[in-house]
Every structure is written in structure tokens, then in C-alpha cells.
Chain A
Amino acid sequence: MMVKPTLVTNTIRAHREKAGLTQAVLARTVGVTRQTLLAIEQGKYSPTLELAFQLARAFGVTLDDLFDYPED
């Protein structure tokens, strides 16, 4: 496993700020540490599929609304 930047981008921070949630509250909601949520927001960690669904559900949006993967 190599440490490399992910191509997946996300709009978690924008959704979180729009919803008026702090990192700590959202992290507690989806069951991760605040540091992990911060890493996901900054694209430093790819969430598991299950966590991605939990995040999307927390905002009431779809995975496509929250995550983006560039076309070839």
C-alpha cells in the first residue's frame, strides 16, 4: 500500500458548513474521530464505502452529491 493522494474529491466541508455542523458533531454522528473527518475533508484519507454512505445520509444527499471522481 503506497501513500498517495486520492483522485476522489468531496464537498463534505461545504455541506457541513451549510448544515451548521462542527467537525466534532459530524464526526460523532458518523462514528469517527474529528481527526479522521478532517483528513477526509482534506482528501488525505479515503473513507470506506460504509462511512461514505453514512456521511451522505447525515446530509440527506446521494454519494454523487458528496463525492466526485474525475473522468479519464
Chain B
Amino acid sequence: MVYHERAAWAQLIASILTIGAYAWLMLTNPDPTTSWVPIMLWTISIGIVVSILITILWGIAVGLRDKESATASDMRDTDISRLGGRVEHAFLIVAALAVIVLCALESDVFWVAQAMFAGFAISSLLGGITRVIAYRRGLA
């Protein structure tokens, strides 16, 4: 497994953990509308760190066996990365439009933030799924 495929898996795993943790913390919170800021910021921060840690530790484990696979990449990785990026971009735009609509409706800032978080989460999740499928099933 090449570096970028491991990074795609790390992103997918971190996205699932982040979404799951955020949903659990918000649903079990007695008053999420007032205490969502630290929950959201910590969840995003820890999600990014987890993704980086998985990539690094997995890279070290692979590098011990096969040094070349630890860092090697080529045009296939670029193509798959571009495909995943397009999916992520599309969902970020949907989230941005949702935020504009919520602002136009003068919605509470809580719902504006939830919409943006959902956009980040879904785009990261689907971008990761797209990359993993492209690596497993092919990109032809």
C-alpha cells in the first residue's frame, strides 16, 4: 500500500471517528445549543491529529518492512487525489450554500455552525471513501 492510499484510509478512519464522537457528545449533552463551541473545536482538532498520527505510525510500520512503499507516489496517486478532491470540493460548496441560506433566514449561529461542520464532515468522509474505492477498484 503506497503512502497516499494509507493517507486516504487514515482520513476515512479519522472522519468516521470524528463524526461519531461529535454526534455522541452532542446527543448526550443536556444543552448542546450553548456548549457546542468547545465540543466542535476539540473534535475537529483531535480528528486532524488522529488522521496525521495514523498516517505517520502506519508509514513507520510500512517503512520498517519496505522502505520504497513508505514514501513512493506517482501519477496514479495524483489522479486519485484529484478525484477525491473534486468530491470534497462539491460537498463543501453545498455546505457553503446551506450556510448562506441559513444566514439569509437569520438562523441561530448554532445551526449555521452545524451546517458548516456537517459540510466538512461529509466532504471529508466522502472524499476518503472515493479515494479508497479508487485505490481498491481502480481508476480507469
Contact = CB atoms under 8 A, between A and B. Distances in A.
30 contacts: A1-B83, A1-B86, A1-B139, A3-B83, A3-B133, A3-B134, A3-B137, A3-B138, A3-B139, A5-B138, A6-B140, A8-B140, A31-B74, A33-B68, A33-B77, A35-B5, A35-B76, A36-B2, A36-B74, A36-B75, A39-B76, A39-B139, A43-B138, A43-B140, A44-B139, A44-B140, A45-B76, A45-B79, A45-B140, A46-B140
Interface of A: 1, 3-6, 8, 31-36, 39, 42-46, 48, 51
The 3 residue pairs across chains A and B that have the minimum distance between CB atoms: A44-B138, A6-B140, A36-B76
Given A5-B140, A33-B69, A33-B73, 4 more contacts: A1-B86, A32-B75, A33-B76, A44-B140
